[in-house]
Amino acid sequence: MSTDSIYRENVEFGWFMPTMGDGTSLGRESERKPTLDYLTSVARTAEQSGFEFVLIPTGGACIDSWVVGSAIIGATTTLKPLVAVRPGLIAPVLTARMAAALDTLSEGRARINIVTGSSPDDLEELGDPLARAHDEKYDRTREYLDVIKGVWEQAAGLSSTEFGASADASVKDNKVYFKGNYYDINGGTSRPATVQKPGLPIYFGGSSPMAKSVGAEYADVFLMWSEPLEMIKQQIEELQVQQHKLAEQHGSIRPLRVGMRAQVLVRDTEEEAWEAARNLIKDIDPATIERAKASFSKTGATGQNRQNQIRDAAAANDFVVGPNLWAGLSNVRSGGALMFVGTPDQVSDRLLEYAEAGVTSFILSSYPHLEEAQIFGESTLPLFKEKWNRRLVSSV
């Protein structure tokens, strides 16, 4: 399989916004509440530490991602808010308008992260009729993104030859008409036009074949949760298969960037780093761990099932799954819980290995997010960039 379908040049780094609360350990009530002052402090620290964007999550006990994104653009000058959005809970034209408004007010900094898979229980609480219908949720996402991209392009005076591939769609008098299985849009428009053309960058994640198919067709950045390097390489290969299937239909490769969500913990010595990592979960009682693992096992998300398998396979080795890679947080944290642990030199080397495999968008976090953003940004981010630039020069 050729590799020209994956963007492999500049590497971008994002940080994670702790909108459920924050603290110095996991498995207990948050020591730091997600107040406006605290969240904007995390955002400003991430910006000052060299991160280009922040992921604002959605679901569960998270404070609404759109509201947080609006607060962040007023507290920063260059930081890009990556707002997580779940299809089916907000109408697509309204989503397009909300995103365009955020893009306008931030002067072209906004991005959106489409989250199709999620906790079925959480989606049911919010009234999603497809909460437990995995494939149907991805079919709906296709239509959702068709409509969003369609109205963005029309507002920008552009016309896409691929618009509405998943449904009966047309454009008349600069208005979008769309009739699918999930959405019926009669004269849709987006106001204002987005600053970024033809629209906001779309981040999209998943591990299932359906997720990779949708991502290959619509995403600008395809996101995965952190896994051992060989597993990530396999996922990239699977994504490329979907890209080439689309190329057979459309006549050309649609390149995209690959991203990864991961935890990081760096200290001056490896011993200090491992001690700090293990301290994050050392006081959690066994009952809390068992409840969390039982909850994670009920997920319908392919990615979470993979995280569960990685954790269980590494249990006998103190959850060490590879060089400087630890699954200990997976006992109490869902999602991208694998953590890079070590010195700045070690962790930058590990990230470099993933970048060489095709991952050029990293979304990182650690506890507490405020201090750890500064530690990583000052100690490891410049070192990674130096190594990456040397690699680029040597490859010319």
pLDDT at 2: 43
By the 10 Å C-beta count (0-12 exposed, 13-18 middle, 19+ buried), 82 is classed as: buried
Determine phi and psi for 303, rounding to 5 degrees. Answer: -60, -40
Query: Which residues, other chains included, contact 84 with Cβ-Cβ below 8 Å and sequence gap of 6+?
Result: 55, 56, 57, 58, 59, 65, 112, 113, 115
By the 10 Å C-beta count (0-12 exposed, 13-18 middle, 19+ buried), 29 is classed as: exposed
The first and second tokens of residue 133, run together, are 């219908």
Q: Cα separation of 184 and 169, whole Å?
A: 10
Type and span of the H or E element at 174:
none
% of the chain at pLDDT higher than 70: 96
pLDDT at 74: 97
Q: Cα separation of 86 and 90, whole Å?
A: 8
**Whether the predicted model's global pTM rises above the 0.85 cut:** yes
pLDDT at 315: 83
Q: For the sheet with 184-188, list strands across it.
A: 168-172, 175-179, 184-188
Mean pLDDT by 10 residues, the chain (396 residues): 74 97 88 97 98 95 96 98 95 97 98 90 89 93 96 80 58 89 95 95 93 96 96 96 91 92 98 97 83 74 83 87 94 86 98 97 98 98 96 76
Which amino acid, 170?
S
CA angle (240, 244, 249) in 5-degree steps: 150
pLDDT at 333: 81
pLDDT at 161: 43
Give CA separation, 192 vs 17, 97, 103, 113, 153, in Å: 27, 7, 9, 20, 12
